Structure 1
Amino acid sequence: MNKDSTTGIAYKSSEVERLLGTSSSNLRKWCMILENEGYEFVRGTNRSRLFYNQDVVVLKRLKELVQIRGMALEGAANALVSLIETEKRTTSVPEANDLEEQHSNVFVSRSELKQIFEKLDAQEQFNKLLLERLEQQQSLMNQQINNRDEQLLGAIRTLTDSHKQIAANLDSPKKGFFARLFGK
């Protein structure tokens, strides 16, 4: 048994189904046939299978042999199991708490942490610059809108004055030639 075969991320059946692009019934059938040939999957506390990277690779190869190359399922499983070294098979059963500890014990080096903070600072500076530019653009747009409004109001006033003058000229009675000439 290889110690590295049970380290790493353990996948649930649904995740493996998604990774392989297959149905739950196909995955179950493939696992049972591999187990009949001697391959052992890690079982969780509720007897469900847990899949490690090596298991996913084996299942991908099985899928390729059966669906792409057209081999019989039993023959493909037998060929795969015979190629896999015994020490690389997953045989131990980790407890659920062990899996949670594996996911919670993530360490980040100081240099990685420093890079993360530098990227965060750069992103904050970029966001500030972007916000300033947006505010400048909004201010410019407001000025242009105010100028347009003033021009429109000026044009409306001019038209209104013209209409008033025309109306005043139409309302006044017309004087004859001599009345206009002598101002009476």
Structure 2
Amino acid sequence: MNDAIEFVYTSKEVSVSVGIATSTLRTWCLKLEANGYILKRSDDGKRMFFERDITALRMMKELLDKKHPIEYAVDQITSRFNVMTHSVANNDAVTTVEKTPFLERFPNAIELNEFVNQIRTAVKEEVHQEVATALEEQNKRFDEHIDRRDRQIMEVLRELQEDRKKKWWKKLF
């Protein structure tokens, strides 16, 4: 069993890596899939490419660059890459990546998923509480600022009224 983590690549990354347009990649993928080559897809239906897929597409590009017909290239790729075991047939040996179900490789995956969901819920609640506390503190500061401003305005108004009273008395005497 191969415990190495495989990276998943997007169509854009693969097209840049192989040196072809994304529309060409899409066409090649359709032809390969029609001939039995399995490309894995994400939950939303997008193709997911692994290293073996990139290797296959590079070989296909080499064959097409040598002016072979696309049907020939597709047949060569599907015959070289054993779809059932995801192995790559080399001239000297066959390197096999053993396929095992996810739950066999990670028996505690369901429990781990539940634990992760519990952590997410706890974090959301904590963030919500912190935001609510921060908003309350901000409202307090605003209220204090408004009270201070109101007191200052009242002081200025009183001073103005006193000045008017003094001027009125001064006019009389």
Give the Cα–Cα distance (whole angstroms) in 2 for the partners of residues 17 and 157 of structure 1: 67
1:57 aligns with 2:55: yes
Where do 1:47-86 residues align within 5 Å? 52=39, 56-63=54-61, 73-74=65-66
1:158 Cα deviation after fit? 0.7
Stretch of structure 1 that moved more, 164-173 or 19-28: 19-28
1:151 Cα deviation after fit? 0.8
Q: Which has the higher helix share?
A: 1
Calculate the TM-score normalised by the size of structure 2: 0.52
Higher RCO (CA < 8 A, seq sep 6+): 1
The counterpart of 2:120, out of the listed 116, 120, 123, is 123
Residue in 2 aligned with 1:69? none
1:87 Cα deviation after fit? 5.5
1:161 aligns with 2:158: yes
Q: Which runs of 4+ in 1 moved over 6 A?
A: none
Give the Cα–Cα distance (whole angstroms) in 1 for the partners of residues 122 and 83 of structure 2: 51
Residue in 2 aligned with 1:144? 141
Change (3 A) 1:17 1:127: closer
| 8 Å CA contact 1:16, 1:51 repeated in 2 | no
Aligned AA for 2:56?
A: V
Give the Cα–Cα distance (whole angstroms) in 2 for the partners of residues 107 and 168 of structure 1: 89
Residue in 2 aligned with 1:4? none
Where structure 1 has 5 or more consecutive residues not aligned to the other structure, the ranges are 1-14, 32-39, 67-71, 93-105, 176-184
Q: CA RMSD in A?
A: 4.1
Calculate the TM-score normalised by the size of structure 1: 0.50
